[in-house]
Structure 1
Amino acid sequence: MDTGTIIQPKYFNGVATSKESIEYQSNLVQYFKHVGMLAFGQMPFIAKIGPDPEKDYDWRNIDCLLDFAKKHDIRVHYNTVINSHKNSFPDWYYELSAEEKKKALERHIKAIVGRYKDRIEFYKLVNESNPYEEENFLGTNETKTDLIVQMFAWAKEVHPEGEFIVNDHFPFLQQDKIRTNFISLIKRLKEKGAQIDAIGIEGHLGYKPVPFQIPSDDDFDTTIEDVYNSTGLPIYITEFDISYNNAPVNPYPGSVIDPNNPFEANGVAYANWFDYQAYAYKHFYELCKKKEFIKRLYFWGFTDKDWYKWERPSVGFFDENFKPKPVFNEMQEILNAHTK
């Protein structure tokens, strides 16, 4: 099982200070051979000013990362070609007709896959489509199923040997419509000929049934095996994390705890939540490793420094000063083994 993390662009494009970049890159090279980009591959970041990949797209952040990765033998996955959220498209997209939107999506997919052919380990081709209605997907007048099938066809047309996945979230609850709806979507896509290489499951955990904790072993086993047995596709855990603050932007009662206080989980007492996080990351890794069909596990946080304000805090291996956290100390031996 490959193990990786998600990284930020500023440490590769010259925005961060030289000292910060050197420290960040040094830790990354030492402990990870598989990385993904944090959001900056999405359409609003690279196609902000217009739809023409030749004259409008800004590829610099991705190019800088890939140049660094090539130099250090690090494999990169693309996050994300098409993100289904309504805030994940530039303003110009919403001014297009339905037909023009579909053409823009095709051009966007083919431009990315064509430019980075043979330089990307795999692509999150479609992200978080599951919550959205089947009809008029992304304003194209196409059904979600039909449009995603076409998206995979466009990607495979440019790079037949490329690896393309559908990525989505569910909370590992045994009785859960989110998972069953996602499985139904995958089945429809396969029935219509979508060339899906694997299923991505995000793994942003610790919301429910018990906040700030990973799910029980039984919940994990039952739900992950349900996805595999229902679809027959390999599974990648693409964005695993837990946090002590589940709603940093719009807090609600019980959404945050003091991570420095004593913490108890499953009858085990920990000095603080950070010590529990260390246990949880290693235990989740061990759960995934037991499943032959789970081929990749990516930890969403590498460091806690400069984390986006809307993201849950303190999910990384290193703190805001690049100092190792308890979770790193617990995982260090495993991470070392994956870079040899």
Structure 2
Amino acid sequence: MATIKDVARRAQVSTATVSYVLNGTGVVSDTTRERVLAAVAELGYQPNYSARALRTRSHTLGVVAPGIAGRLADPATAEILAGLSEAATAAGYCLLIAAPTDSEAEGELDLRLARSGRVDGLVLFDLRVADERPAVLAEARIPAIAIGAPATGVTCPIAGFDLRAGAEQATQHLIRLGHRRIALLATSSDLSISEPFYAGYVAALHAAGLRRDATLVIEAGSSEDDGMAAMQELLAVRTPPTAVLAATDTLAFGAMHALRDSGKVVGQDVSVVGCDDLPLAAHTYPPLTTLRAPRRELGATLARHLISLIERRTVPPVTLLPVRLIVRHSTAAPRAAG
């Protein structure tokens, strides 16, 4: 097995320079950095970061997410971070938040942050299908936990919400009201949470003897504008839906805007259900029926599990917290059934 001295000899630099490159510290020219990284790749050198962490633990948890700096004002993200911070502080740890630049991939920032010695482990937001980040961190022996749903090939523990059960519960609510044409506004299929939400929606339809209509399922995206565009698309189909289940409250807000713009009355002409129960959900017009996700509890769970990994204690591979349907005035029996 190659050592840091072997890398230094191959790159014709000092061991200190190799450390600077691998840890992201010190001042090293681009040419030297490339030479060191080439030597690391050729020799298959793997630094033992976990052993180093045992000697010099920082007692800091790292959070890396795409565009998280712009998401700090998002109530859902802020509440998860609050739960993370509170639980970390209670256990004697701090929280460090970082976001990749346009020129740096998320995986590169994960490794650079861990190698810097500033954090003992990482929380990964927005777990994707076939996400490479957990495997990269596992190979480097860096403790990590991801927010999302179980996904193929993911090698780190996962914590999130039971979205399959939640979507099934929300769809059943609409079916009990008498709706038969129920649309789904889904998040990007690249995200691990997309599949279980879709599966819960389909399971409820099948249990009620209803067929899934592909024209009523739209991969909408994430923004309110995405929700508006998706709802406009649904209103243009030959037989529009009488109810809409949105994978996030933000998409639901956009759908409600589109319905009002088209002259429809939310909760009368078309029922709308969201997912998150953001603070605004109770104050829309009409107030939004939605799935309440315990985000602060999720943050605390992430912190406790990551600290257990850092301290070499066992944690469950998957932890899914239950969501609860909060019924407000955006859902009612369809006009035809009333």
TM-score, structure 2 as length reference = 0.29
TM-score, structure 1 as length reference = 0.29
Larger radius of gyration: 2
